Amino acid sequence: MRLEWIEDILAVAEHGSFQAACEKRHVSQPAFSRRIRHIEQALGATLFDRTARPARLSPHVQGQIDRMRELSAGLRDLAAALSDGHGARRRRVVIASQHAIAATATPEIVRRYDDLDIDTRLRTANRDECLAQIMTRRSDIALIHDVADAQKIPGSDFLDIMPIGAETLIPVFADDHIARLNDFYQHGELPVIAYPSDVFLGQVQRRIIFPRLARVGRIRTRLETALTLAALEFARTGLGVAWIPEHLACADVERGRLVNLSATLPAISMNVIAARLSDANAPIVDQVWERIGAPTRPETG
């Protein structure tokens, strides 16, 4: 699949007709129609419903539009990177961030270098995927949580690792359902929102948090999700106790929607850390790395 093919299809999707698309692509309508037919012949598939006026994308193609947009952007990035072997012209950094960090700390972290005229592409994923992205050079810097008692960061021998902030994983529950929680407790159960064992916070729960709950009673997993934002939503409904990064839950606690149960259930101190490959970083990544390690942006002028 060629980049120009993808962009021809996207032009029709975004502008609504062959006529508008050919103007966007700076070709005549007959030439654009020939290009579209050539794409269809090469792929062996009909991409457009020409019985409609104006012609529109076939449903199976419409379902791939978001993916084509991502591919188009990725191929353009790749072309730019290949033509700039030493990173001299590059003005964008790719950051992989855990979901909870992206929703809380990342905006302030990006602000630390916003005067450098550097654009940012933010990718959100779980912790292991963030690390995989920098190991495979799909991202330049990863922003992840770490816990002192957790296992060693995978690949750390090949990484620069820098603490850039602090966080606490706190147990929270819906304030207007506390009576329900007490009823569970009286029956020797603690309803929880759990993270899967194959994600970082799930490992923290099973290695550090859950062993400390033996005195409370039987842990009853009401729901399992890998997303902290989803766990937060279910805690709001009173389904179970969720362990949420404090910066993500603090607004609900302050408004009285959630109760911080740290006085009776374990809370875990965490670090927010930045990680990158130790070698072969472009100059622009070095600049960003230096800035995100500083708590405040240096004064200018």
* Nearest C-alpha neighbor of 229 from the set 268, 180, 195, 190: 195
Distance CA 155, CA 30 (A): 54
Give residue 73's pLDDT band: very low, low, confident or very high (50, 70, 90).
Answer: confident
176 or 117: which leads in pLDDT: 176
Distance CA 259, CA 273 (A): 27
Task: Give the residue-averaged pLDDT of 248-275.
Answer: 95
Looking at the chain, the domain(s) classified CATH 1.10.10.10 span 3-74
Percent of the chain predicted with pLDDT > 70: 92
3-state helix, strand, coil in the chain (%, to 5): 45, 25, 30
The arrangement of secondary structure in 3-74, i.e. its CATH architecture, is Orthogonal Bundle (1.10)
Q: Is 273 helix (H, G, I), strand (E, B) or coil?
A: strand
In this predicted structure, the answer to whether residue 129 has a pLDDT above a threshold of 80 is: yes
Render pLDDT for 131-167 as a digit per residue (tens, 0 to 9).
Answer: 999 999 889 999 999 987 666 776 677 889 999 999 9
Q: Identify the pLDDT of residue 300.
A: 45
Percent of the chain predicted with pLDDT > 90: 46
Give residue 295's pLDDT band: very low, low, confident or very high (50, 70, 90).
Answer: low
Distance CA 68, CA 84 (A): 24
- Give the single-character DSSP code of 209: I
Q: Which of 98-112, 138-152, 224-238, 267-281 has the lowest mean pLDDT?
A: 138-152
The residues, ordered by sequence, that sit 6+ positions from 280 with a Cβ below 8 Å of its Cβ are none
Distance CA 125, CA 148 (A): 22
Task: Give the residue-averaged pLDDT of 265-283.
Answer: 89
Give residue 252's pLDDT band: very low, low, confident or very high (50, 70, 90).
Answer: very high
Looking at the chain, the domain(s) classified CATH 3.40.190.10 span 85-166+271-292, 168-268
- CATH node for 85-166+271-292: 3.40.190.10
Q: Mutual orientation of helices 3-15 and 65-82 as an angle, nearest 10°? A: 140
CATH of 168-268 among 3.40.190.10, 3.40.50.720, 1.20.1050.10, 3.40.50.300: 3.40.190.10
For the chain, the straight-line distance linking the first and the last C-alpha, in angstroms and rounded, comes to 49
Q: Which of 2-11, 102-111, 153-162 has the lowest mean pLDDT?
A: 153-162
Tokens matching residue 46: 């009909």
In this predicted structure, the answer to whether residue 223 has a pLDDT above a threshold of 70 is: yes
CB 167 within 8 A of CB 147: no
In this predicted structure, the answer to whether residue 78 has a pLDDT above a threshold of 90 is: no
Please state, rounded to an integer, the average pLDDT across all residues of the chain. Answer: 87
